[in-house]
Structure 1
């Protein structure tokens, strides 16, 4: 009796999607407000990344700092902005994202 109840509860959870399964290798390129290293965005052969605000209503600001914390590039992304290429950056640079939006940052192919 206990086994059937436990199996029923597991099946119920799986059928309603309460338990969300993700692959261990799943990588997301969507980032919110915070401070990140460029190495967090994946490896780029040419050290250039594309950035895009994917939210339909919120602006977002993206600032790139070098290893000495000098501002290298600053970009204001409007809602649903087109993809913009960054300048070439090193893995030890930092990226500051400010705002309520969500930024898709991926290595340029």
Structure 2
């Protein structure tokens, strides 16, 4: 019975860590990112959300000619906002100390 309980606890621990790492893969900090680096599909629409409890973030979306297409200011723990359809040459700039979830 002790072996079963120990194996069960280890399994739960490993699954929890795997789930957290998958979710953390879509969280980004301040910086400039190329849309191709995210492996986003052009057919899907994506949303952004500030998951930081204290810091706000500003999102800027630029096309391949460095023309600004979209800008969104995200308050701490904001709701989800839709991004325009992304092409591989687009750039996403994140300004601020918050953490941005893109999904």
Same fold (TM over 0.5): yes
Which ranges of 4 or more aligned residues in structure 1 deviate by more than 3 Å?
none
What residue ranges of structure 2 are gaps of 5+ in the alignment?
1-16
Counterpart among 28, 46, 51 of residue 49 in structure 1: 46
Matched, 1:98 2:92: no
Normalized against structure 1, the TM-score is what?
0.69
Q: CA deviation at 1:47?
A: 4.1
RMSD, matched Cα: 2.1
Q: Deviations over 1:37-91 (max 9, x none)?
A: 1122332252421100000110000000000000000000000001111111211
Give the TM-score normalised by the residue count of structure 2. Answer: 0.73
Pick the structure with more helix per residue: 2
Any stretches of 5+ residues in structure 1 without a counterpart?
Answer: 1-20
Distance in 2 (alpha carbons) for counterparts of 1:41 and 1:97: 14
| 1:36 aligned residue (27, 33, 37) | 33
Moved more, 81-90 or 40-49: 40-49
